[in-house]
Chains A and B, each alone.
Chain A
Amino acid sequence: MSKLLEVSNLGKRFTIAGGLAGKARTVHAVDDVSFSIAAGETLGLVGESGCGKSTVGKMIVRLLEPSAGNILLDGIDISHLSHRRMRPLRRRVQMIFQDPNGSLDPRQRAQDIVAEPLLVSGMRGAARRRERVADLFEKVGLRPDQMRNVPSKFSGGQRQRLAIARALALNPALIIADEPVSALDVSIQAQVVNLMSDIQREFGLAYLFVAHDLGIVQHISDRVAVMYLGRIVEIGDTARVYQQPSHPYTRTLMDAVPKPDPSRRHRRLKVPRGEVPSPLDPPSGCAFHPRCPAATDICRRERPLLRRVASGAETACHHAD
């Protein structure tokens, strides 16, 4: 498969203004993150709050400037392109967010929201644009009679469909989906996830699917990357990572997810130790070592690099095999 997106050694530092002591501090929100996505493929990016997964997505669509590393789209380095030079490439990558309200103008009619990217890209002819909008409405399962409604007339699930229609307008190759279903009710989540799978197949779309819900990520992803404190700790084929997690943090996450099995109520479940450390003061060596049941001296001293292990996944753990 040809690589649509290649991210290498991506980093993002934020400077936090000093408190009473007055000393500004630097946080590595994302550190040395590398992965690639092939055309038509879905990479799931999982981790708990503050792990940097959303920051990675925002850098790829250039909502945030990377502090380090490169982002190659179709082989072109877009990590520092100017707005003007980015414009022809921008249509290749679109983003959908957790809360569509934040990205939909409440006063605009649905049809104008979907038509806007067409206008901006210079598509001529009102009739042609109308036809394209009607087509997109049908693709995402919205009714033609809803085209003149404002977003507040739509339910949460329908608003996300609207955001998807707008993202599809310019035939992107890649959609960055940042927690696209986590604000929705469960019965509606399934509808939106199924819709995303359908349009992926129809248009050969690739997704970077950023989410904390391990069940949904497993369902939609071909490969999955697990992040902890700004770094990828494990990346590989979804089935392998889920069935044979090789990083202790991945195992901890999998064990922690509640499962719909009432017999577990009467069992002693595996419960994670400790809390996520502050990114302002990350642990030495492997960032997971203070919580890791298998940590040894080397884990406290040396940061493990990603390397291939028996499952076929790549893992940043000194002790994985």
Chain B
Amino acid sequence: MTPLLSIQDLTVELSARDRTFDAVSDLSFTVARGEVLALVGESGSGKSMTALAIMRLLPEPVARISKGRILFDELDLAAASEASLRSIRGNRIGLIFQEPMTSLNPSMRVGPQVAEALRLHKGLDAAAARRRVEEIFEQVRIPDPKRRFDDYPHQMSGGMRQRVVIALALACDPDVLIADEPTTALDVTTQAQILETFRDLQAAVGAATILITHDLAVVAETADRVAVMYAGRIVEETTTERLFAAPQHPYTHGLLGSIPHIAEAGRATERGRLAEIPGTVPALWALPRGCAFAPRCPRARQRCEDERPPLSDMAPGHRAACWYPMKGAA
């Protein structure tokens, strides 16, 4: 698969309270058409900052891209003008945020909001845009789409609002879809419904998709490939199957072990002590010299404190940044 989106050495610099530091460092990855890449990490890992950087929505001048390229269809978004970005955002790149009201205008009916995007980017007239919106509402499984067209966001449930946001993101048939914690604010039954809709439509539209989440179970059910981030860097990247079967980075291994998961009905689960990762995430402005995870790592040795391990091939299609990776069969 040829990549549709290619991130090269992306570095995001933050300036806050007379401190300047990198929130994202030398990030490189690609996403192909139709593929779902999950960016996984805990708070401060840089995953959401990466999404904002790709869309050029960083709160400048507090945060800015200080290095790197974001190649999308022969255009470098990192250097693109605001005018060309405006024609791409919400059109060729669709966005879904955790909180639907980030994307929706509270004082405007939901149907016209989606129609507006179609009129702006696709040049549809009012009647055609309305017909198209009703179709999309149907696709994202909003019941009774003709009637819901005229609802205000506050008249809808959280799950329905997120469906409107998905409709808005997909309205213009985007090439790239970026979803930042799209189901985190939702209850579990609503989450299951939204994830199903998301999976079906992503596959139908064939967009290159970046799914940002902290939830590894959501990753397992949704993504083709996973990049695990820690303290602003990718520490491991591979297919979803391999990540769960044979994690190489001790951080990934620890994360997988620390989540108490329920078994599918009928299967027994053990109730023991949860595997915990000791300590806390280091401050980005006071990172250790070597591997950022070394102070919390059960496998760390002298070399880990002295030298930062590069992201290197562990197996075909499997990269990890660790001097002493976990072994174990895939």
State the A residues within 8 Å of B (CB). 48-49, 155, 157-158, 185-191, 193-194, 197, 212, 214-216, 218-219, 238-239, 242-245, 251-262, 264-265, 269, 271-272, 275-276
Across the interface, B214 reaches (CB within 8 A) one of A186, A190, A245, namely A186
Interfacial chain B residues near A260, Cβ < 8 Å: 216-217, 220, 244, 256, 259, 261
9 nearest CB pairs, A to B: A258-B217, A190-B258, A256-B192, A185-B42, A219-B260, A48-B187, A187-B277, A190-B274, A190-B276
A155 touches B280 (CB 8 A): yes
B221 touches A191 (CB 8 A): no
A256 touches B262 (CB 8 A): no
What residue of chain B has the Cβ atom nearest to residue A192's Cβ?
B276
B191 touches A191 (CB 8 A): no
Enumerate 21 A-B pairs (CB-CB under 8 Å) in ascending A order.
A48-B190, A186-B42, A186-B258, A187-B258, A190-B259, A190-B260, A190-B277, A193-B260, A193-B274, A242-B263, A242-B265, A244-B266, A251-B265, A257-B192, A257-B217, A259-B221, A259-B264, A260-B220, A260-B259, A265-B240, A269-B196
State the B residues within 8 Å of A (CB). 42-43, 157, 159-160, 187-193, 195-196, 199, 214-218, 220-223, 240-241, 244, 254-256, 258-269, 271, 273-278, 280-281
Across the interface, A262 reaches (CB within 8 A) one of B220, B258, B261, B280, namely B220
Interfacial chain A residues near B267, Cβ < 8 Å: 243
CA A243 to CA B263, docked complex, whole Å: 8
What residue of chain B has the Cβ atom nearest to residue A187's Cβ?
B277
A269 touches B258 (CB 8 A): no
CA A254 to CA B265, docked complex, whole Å: 7
CB-CB under 8 A for A256 and B220, given A186-B259, A187-B255, A242-B262:
no
Across the interface, B222 reaches (CB within 8 A) one of A191, A216, A253, A265, namely A265
B1 to chain A, nearest CB (A): 17
B220 touches A257 (CB 8 A): no
A237 to chain B, nearest CB (A): 12
Interfacial chain B residues near A261, Cβ < 8 Å: 220-221, 244, 264
Q: Which of B214, B240, B244, B263 has the most CB of A within 10 A?
A: B263
B193 touches A258 (CB 8 A): no
B274 touches A254 (CB 8 A): no
CB-CB under 8 A for A185 and B220, given A190-B276, A272-B189:
no
B221 to chain A, nearest CB (A): 5
Interfacial chain B residues near A49, Cβ < 8 Å: 187
CB-CB under 8 A for A194 and B268, given A253-B188, A265-B222:
no
What residue of chain A has the Cβ atom nearest to residue B199's Cβ?
A265
CA A2 to CA B281, docked complex, whole Å: 43
A272 touches B193 (CB 8 A): yes
B220 to chain A, nearest CB (A): 5
CA A201 to CA B258, docked complex, whole Å: 20
CA A105 to CA B256, docked complex, whole Å: 35
A194 touches B256 (CB 8 A): no
Interfacial chain A residues near B196, Cβ < 8 Å: 269, 271
CA A258 to CA B195, docked complex, whole Å: 10
Across the interface, A258 reaches (CB within 8 A) one of B218, B255, B268, namely B218
B187 to chain A, nearest CB (A): 4
B221 touches A272 (CB 8 A): no
A197 touches B273 (CB 8 A): yes
CA A126 to CA B301, docked complex, whole Å: 44
CB-CB under 8 A for A257 and B262, given A190-B277, A262-B220, A276-B187:
yes
Please give 12 more A-B residue pairs, beta carbons under 8 A apart, in addition to A259-B263, A269-B221, A275-B190: A214-B262, A215-B261, A218-B260, A219-B274, A238-B271, A243-B268, A253-B189, A260-B244, A260-B259, A262-B240, A265-B222, A271-B192
Interfacial chain B residues near A218, Cβ < 8 Å: 260, 262, 269, 271
B274 touches A256 (CB 8 A): no
CB-CB under 8 A for A189 and B258, given A197-B273, A258-B195, A262-B240:
yes
B216 touches A219 (CB 8 A): no
CA A242 to CA B193, docked complex, whole Å: 21
A194 touches B274 (CB 8 A): yes
B45 to chain A, nearest CB (A): 9
Q: Which of A262, A272, A275 has the most CB of B within 10 A?
A: A262
B276 touches A256 (CB 8 A): no
B11 to chain A, nearest CB (A): 23
CA A99 to CA B260, docked complex, whole Å: 21
Interfacial chain A residues near B189, Cβ < 8 Å: 48, 252-253, 256, 272, 276
CA A245 to CA B264, docked complex, whole Å: 11
